[in-house]
A and B are shown apart, each in its own frame.
Chain A
Amino acid sequence: MGGILNSSIARKVAMALSGLFLVLFLLQHFIINFTSVLSAESFNEISHFMGTNFIVQFLIQPILIFGVILHFVLGIVLEYRNRSARPINYVRFNGSANSSWMSRNMIYTGLVVLAFLGLHFYDFWVPEIVHKYVESHPEDPTRYYHETVAKFESPVRTGLYVLSFILLSLHLYHGFSSSFQSMGWANKYAKGLRGFTVAYAILIPLGFIFIALYHYFNNV
């Protein structure tokens, strides 16, 4: 990684920016998903729009993928650097005395979320791309709802989904507010902002979990 990204602070800022972008993405994803609880039609409509709109597909989607990869690659790079900054570990390290579990385990919560993303891609994105661009099926603007709901038939998959979102919540609990600190945001609003990010970190994943459980129990 060359140029400006050689500096620890710049890397952290890139991490923060990509993270914030993903936080925004999460919000819009949640809103769309939530329509599946309210009305199958709206869900289909929006999904169809997102799946076929040129700007979404060929501009925003690549940015999103880039953001995910950047966030992930930088996370690994930072972790590597952090580990080499302390080659010999303490025999006894009392981290819980001075910091939260979430803040110390971003790499693990992050990796679980990444694994979930893999599953998610396998479940939704890959079939979607195959459906659209490989097998060239005819347009069917009503297929999305059933496809989605069908994924929540399996208790194992639903369980994994719930677990991943719990870890995502832990990841966001620290990461969301931390990103502002990384970008140098510290003023009298910082405390309020922290409250907002914590609420977000709890409520949005909880919402996703609700949707998953809702469909699972509807399926049963």
Chain B
Amino acid sequence: MSVLESKVPAGPLEEKWKNHKNNINLVNPANKRNIDVIVIGTGLAGGSAAATLAELGYNVKTFCYQDSPRRAHSIAAQGGINAAKNYQGDGDSDYRLFYDTIKGGDYRSRESNVYRLAEVSGNIIDQCVAQGVPFAREYGGLLDNRSFGGVLVSRTFYAKGQTGQQLLLGAYSAMNRQINRGKIKSYTRHEMLDLVIVDGKARGIIARDLVSGEIERHSAHAVVIASGGYGNVFYLSTNAMGSNVTASWKVHKKGAFFANPCFTQIHPTCIPVSGDHQSKLTLMSESLRNDGRIWVPKKLEDAKAIQEGRLKPTDLKEEDRDYYLERRYPAFGNLVPRDVASRAAKERCDAGYGVNKTGEAVFLDFSAAFMRYGQEAANTQHLKNPSDEQIRDLGKKVIESKYGNLFQMYEKIVDQNPYETPMMIYPAVHYTMGGIWVDYNLETTIPGCFATGEANFSDHGANRLGASALMQGLADGYFVLPYTIGNYLADDIRTGPIPTDSPEFDEAENAVRSQLEKLCNNKGTKSVDHFHKRLGKIMWNKAGMSRNAEDLKSAVEEIKALREEFWKDVKIPGEVNELNTELEKAARVADFLELGELFAVDALHRNESCGGHFREEYQTDEGEALRDDENFMYVAAWEYTGKPSEAVLHKEDLNYEYIEVKTRSYK
């Protein structure tokens, strides 16, 4: 038997979660008062878990590096949140949501978890509405829905382009209620730097107060990691500047297996990089692909002329444009899933057809939509023989009402008017499907250490569908973890407070302190960002949108070498015992430099293409991803053994009992 026990309950799919809840141990309310839980991260997964655990009566401590729990990066999610409510009467059901998620993830996720996710999705909407989250509504006063890529129903609930913000503020308000009651103690501007294990169980953390620089010990009966994804290993991503892998990585080094690190989502519609100074990438909502057409010039000489600014895109004749998504995928056209759209853009740009200075951008053109909507508007306004100009102006107004804020954001950043000239977009790292391996109870391979939200290896398989990240974060935090953690904590009702003066805490604190002191005393010559940028370049070029064995092998070596150089030559002004933003960054980059290596090892070992993981060696004649279900239908869970590249692989086989495994096709 494998060391990986997924603990999936027996019984039919629809009964598993209900039966499990009926059979797991509970902690009585009086005993909950004697139990402490630490939650790392206060985004949707952490904030919702903290609030719910505190409601139940546990004593919760939350930690976030931001100055407020409300600033976690869940706030930046734009589009919406899926739920199988079937409010539109279009035949949606838990099963359909389950099916779409498994298929969208290219059959690399656990059936039982995904079904549970679909099952509780409706409760999330009820809960959020009860909290006062202002979802979009119709004139009848009921909730409105929109549809998203890769599905055939309308199940996405939204609050304009700020759904993540509104949901996070909902979870934050639930937290505030518990902070006010004294049930949550919120540690802001604090960063977890290690996990403390006592007698084989997670019993606390070492954290640094980022303002005073003080290193603190915090004990608890269980530790929940909800610190998000690791997209910043690429340096440039749509993640926040501070988003990091440190909490997850420290837990991994203490014994939690890290699953599918190479599954990364590259989002096709981001604003392209403008220069070396660039610090982060900005996403333009997927919804734009509903109305925009993606193209590059057909002829190389035209592409060159556009790159050099000699030719305006609007002057290029229709027959000289290559609408490559419509050409390659006539059935789904511009609305193919994210992984497919991103790869297609890269393919064209690599062939030399890119349209900005750096040759790394494609056009997203709304001129057809202007005319289409304009004609519609002209008809409803009964205009007789309107000129093309009039029609276009009417159409622009319609587009403005749908995407006005995105167009404005684009103009602020790029300084081009997207109503007059097509937008330029390029794929960017956005979300990481991989993460800490967890069982059905969301418990890692360290007893008492749980992982939720993007931090765990999650329910999205090898590719996540739009509007599903918010759903998973809140499902884990509001409705799954609060039950399953009770099963574990039921054994701790007599344990009493965990002392922080044990040798285990001493050892963990000393290790953290000596690492930080080493960084500060290094007195090298190069800044942290210098190394982070170089790591990002290696990752992007060799482990990015498309990968091959040779590149990945050299990536492993290059990252190793870069890490050694980092530890020799990084320069950090200031001290450990004070506010030191460079030291914060350095500690995070040190962990990225290890994770990056494991990432490449994982990508190298997975000899197939699936979802966000595209290996050039494994593709069809038409350049489509070629999955190998025979050999790779498993979760790759890596056990740390001292060096990232020497991690031991454990496989959790994926069995599909309720769903037929098929090839994804969008032709």
Are A and B close enough to touch in the complex, i.e. CB under 8 Å?
A: no
- On A, residues with C-beta under 8 Å from B are none
Question: Which positions in B face A, CB cutoff 8 Å?
Answer: none
